[in-house]
Structure 1
Amino acid sequence: MSSQVKILAVETLLVDVPTIRPHRLSVATMNHQTLVLVRVETSDGLIGWGEGTTIGGLAYGEESPESIKVNIDTYIAPMLVGQDPSFPAMLMASVNGHIQGNRFAKCAIETALYDNQAKRLGLPLSELFGGRVRDSLPVAWTLASGDTAKDIAEAERVLELRRHNIFKLKIGLRSVKGDVAHVAAIKRALGDMASVRVDANQAWSVTEALEGMAMLADAGVDMVEQPITADDKAGLQRLTQANIIPIMADEALHGPRDAFVVASAQAADIFAIKINQSGGLRGAAEVAAIGKAANIALYGGTMLEGAVGTMASAQLFSTFHDLAWGTELFGPLLLTEEILREPLQYRDFALEIPRRPGLGIDLDEEKLARLRRDR
């Protein structure tokens, strides 16, 4: 099972890009995003790209951009250089057998390997995961300035542009009543023109969540994402079974094992599928399969990745037959710099998925060279 093709180099880039506005979460406020990009070069002249971007340094999870780069460069890259790139699943099995944890780093590597192999085969990456069933995905926009009037104006602007008609509000920094008042005002302003959802990013207690859920349901909000701490599966089960408003698990899903625990306990109505959080494309596909088997609805989540991680997610999500709650793949629109030669296409409230080989995107390596942190 070997060919003459070899992996010549695995390079990790940290690319710092300012955001168009402060992005306020309960765990951090982002004024820039650090894209963690992996470039796999092979002896047949192909380049595969992957991304392992996270949020807020170590505020969100146990991996930071800097740790992802160090661990790839020190431990994973030496395992891959000189190997045959034609068998990405076999290579990732070896990586997983030797490297514990490091879900974001592994996702970046796996994506780059599959992008490289899909290009070699002349196929879109989606076709390596069962084949796509759609060429575009509905995309939500997150309102996270924290200012009610600004959020309303922002929502109305993107509605007029026909870019988004689904809005998710980041909450958790105010009191429960203050959060609900903020959300309710935005829902009143938008009315039936848009779906409004909220993400508390684990900020509430179970008691606060029960109070907040009732008020949010009365305000016309469609869904609440991860209202309580990720490790409280019993609390999540209690909130879900209260049947007040649909509950989405996000940070509670660190791959297929967590998905099985949450599904077995009937502790969510919706799964947020994230390729980085799941440890890669294959892990995310397994999380989705567990959700589908348990009659849990699916939503395509984001770690606010740039174009590489966004399109990797889109390629995988396009293979899901049921994606009842749409996606949140707006990450590139939050950034002030474009890293592609041709930007991703957002129109008619959706992201279009190219049919070109691999990820179907063309990175501007000259622009990356100017933006990367070590230059």
Structure 2
Amino acid sequence: MIRSINTLLVPIPTIREHKLACTVMREQVLVLVHIQTEDGFEGWGEATTIGGLSYAEESPHSIQTNIDTYFAPLLLKEQPTSTAKAMQLLNLHINGNRFAKCAIETALLDIEGKRLNLPVSELIGGRVRDRIEVAWTLASGNTETDISEAKQMVEQKRHRIFKLKIGSNPIIDDIAHVLAIKQALPDCRITVDVNQAWTELEAMKGIALLQTGGIDLIEQPVSMRNKAALKRLKEHFDVAIMADEVVQDPQNAFLLAADHCADVFAVKINQAGGLKAACLIGQMAHLAGIELYGGTMLEGPIGTAASAHVFSTYPSLNFDTELFGPLLLTEDVLVQPLDYQNFGLNVPTGAGLGIEVDSDKVYHYAKKAVISASSTHHS
């Protein structure tokens, strides 16, 4: 029996500004769900989004409101006896809200894993790898800063795959920035994320230059609404074209896979609507011969651990992952931080998510945020 469901907003500053085509981030608001059961188990889930409402249609505040108003009362009233039944119930009564559903499912799987003394990866298909390579996003907006940051990462054996966020500057400037970084790091794999910023014509021009410059992967160059353009770009260029924002839920992924619209799928557990949905997308891509990339919503350590469990089950993960979210934050909410070393992340092996959340710290931060928000409203 579920005893309580708490949703907490925990704002944590980032170690530096993080620039995307749609916004600039200086802090990340972690949306954490804490579920406790009558028999003494607790589970944690995370529904973190990027940049408030500038990236997707759910925001930290809408997720919290919807879970508190609709999800929690429904689950407490119906008391589903398994995670699968809980998700079926939510999908029956609540439309959309993929991020919120993901957080609830993660917390319930965390509890189920602890109860059975199994890692979450074994509840969702079984892991085939214990370690995943992690890319780092260079998004300071300054070429020299990015190059020195990347060189430092390689030296410290933290990252050797780099992703560049472009799309907010004129194309020629963006390409010059990317190619300067590629030249400075000839042995590193470089991915470019345009965050849907280009038209198809701009993409034709931009990708041609990037391909010649030896870039390895181009992420979501055009609007998610223009699947046909994505497909044309994929057919026109040799460099791998990756679908991200357009992948979303399994239904969308199925249509993209059936129409061969991309070479690679970026999968994000929140965007997919949960861990099992993200596993399903991985299986579909695999069946369609589409490569996989483990994406991030820049989640903190809870969502990152959950993502790692999912990506550990993928039959192949040739484009690796970008689960660097916790490394971008100035504070950790775990008792023992996630194990990043040797260019990757070791997938937690303990029961459930295999992590221990510092709940005193989390509740303290959440409370502080509520107090500062209410004082801002009254001033």
**TM-score, with length taken from structure 1:** 0.97
Counterpart in the other structure of 1:144? 139
Alpha-carbon distance in 2 for matches of 1:367, 1:266: 46
Alpha-carbon distance in 1 for matches of 2:170, 2:52: 25
Deviations along 1:233-289, whole A, 9 cap, x unmatched?
Answer: 011111111023110000001111111111122110000011000011111111111
Matched-pair contact (CA < 8 Å) for 2:20–2:139:
yes
Counterpart in the other structure of 2:59? 64
What is the number of residues matched between the two proteins?
A: 369
Pick from 278, 281, 305 the counterpart of residue 275 of structure 2: 281
Pick from 311, 314, 317 the counterpart of residue 323 of structure 1: 317
Counterpart in the other structure of 1:212? 206
How far does residue 166 in structure 1 lie from its aligned partner after superposition? 0.3
Alpha-carbon distance in 1 for matches of 2:80, 2:148: 48
Letter in 2 for 1:211: K
Counterpart in the other structure of 1:188? 183
How far does residue 84 in structure 1 lie from its aligned partner after superposition? 4.6
Alpha-carbon distance in 2 for matches of 1:48, 1:187: 42
Comparing both structures, which one devotes a greater share of its residues to helix?
2
Alpha-carbon distance in 2 for matches of 1:118, 1:81: 20
- Structure 1 runs of 4+ aligned residues shifted over 2 Å read 82-86
1:224 aligned to 2:215?
no
Deviations along 1:133-172, whole A, 9 cap, x unmatched?
Answer: 1111000000000100000010001110101000000000
The correspondence of residues 177-326 of structure 1 with structure 2, limited to 5 A, is: 177-192=172-187, 194-326=188-320
Pick from 132, 135, 150 the counterpart of residue 155 of structure 1: 150
Letter in 1 for 2:88: A
How far does residue 31 in structure 1 lie from its aligned partner after superposition? 0.3
1:100 aligned to 2:82?
no
1:340 aligned to 2:334?
yes
Alpha-carbon distance in 2 for matches of 1:102, 1:238: 31
Counterpart in the other structure of 1:3? none
How far does residue 369 in structure 1 lie from its aligned partner after superposition? 2.0
Letter in 1 for 2:309: Q
Gaps of at least 5 residues in structure 2 are 372-379
1:80 aligned to 2:72?
no
Alpha-carbon distance in 2 for matches of 1:28, 1:244: 30
Alpha-carbon distance in 2 for matches of 1:354, 1:225: 28
Matched-pair contact (CA < 8 Å) for 1:42–1:85:
no
How far does residue 69 in structure 1 lie from its aligned partner after superposition? 0.2
1:167 aligned to 2:162?
yes
Deviations along 1:330-356, whole A, 9 cap, x unmatched?
Answer: 000000011111101111111011211
Counterpart in the other structure of 1:132? 127
Alpha-carbon distance in 2 for matches of 1:285, 1:374: 35
Alpha-carbon distance in 2 for matches of 1:262, 1:219: 28
Q: What is the alpha-carbon root mean square deviation over aligned residues? A: 1.0
Matched-pair contact (CA < 8 Å) for 1:9–1:41:
yes
What secondary structure, in the 3-state scheme, does the structure 2 residue paired with 1:276 have? helix
Letter in 1 for 2:152: R
Aligned-residue identity in percent: 54
Alpha-carbon distance in 2 for matches of 1:370, 1:159: 36
Pick from 31, 35, 41 the counterpart of residue 30 of structure 2: 35
Matched-pair contact (CA < 8 Å) for 1:111–1:281:
yes
Letter in 2 for 1:363: V
Matched-pair contact (CA < 8 Å) for 2:8–2:363:
no
Matched-pair contact (CA < 8 Å) for 2:208–2:237:
no
Pick from 6, 14, 18 the counterpart of residue 11 of structure 1: 6
Alpha-carbon distance in 1 for matches of 2:264, 2:283: 13
Counterpart in the other structure of 2:354? 360
Letter in 2 for 1:318: S
